[in-house]
Amino acid sequence: MELRLKTSLALLMMALLCGCAAAPERPDPAAERAHAAAVAAAEARAAVAVPGARVCRRLVLGIGNVDWVSGVVVAVEGDVVTVQIDNPGRMSHVLDGVAVVRGARLRSGVELWTPCG
């Protein structure tokens, strides 16, 4: 009788322990992508929002023309950077009423710029 009781208790304990171990949660792929995008955006902001950082901006003209302008960050105010242009690109541009020429200062959102070397 005692052996039967010990066996029953052992089986009961095994059943309880197995029931306590819940299956690991499967991560939501959409949430993982959103998290990765947020981390990438924060890293890009941290790299761009530094006075003296060299930054580039991609400009799309018409259907398929792409041009790049670049410059150096001269001021940072929250999520807005002021960039002094040193390479105005191959084509002429006007952004926010400012002609993009060498020496011009553009004030725009940090998310519009990317670090460049």
94-105 residue pLDDT tens: 988 899 999 999
* Structural domain that includes position 8: 2-115
36-76 residue pLDDT tens: 888 888 888 888 889 999 999 999 988 888 999 999 999 99
Alpha helices of 2-117 — where are they, by DSSP H? 2-20, 29-48
Number of domains into which the chain is organized: 1
CA distance 103 to 117: 19
* C-beta of residue 48 within 8 angstroms of C-beta of residue 115: yes
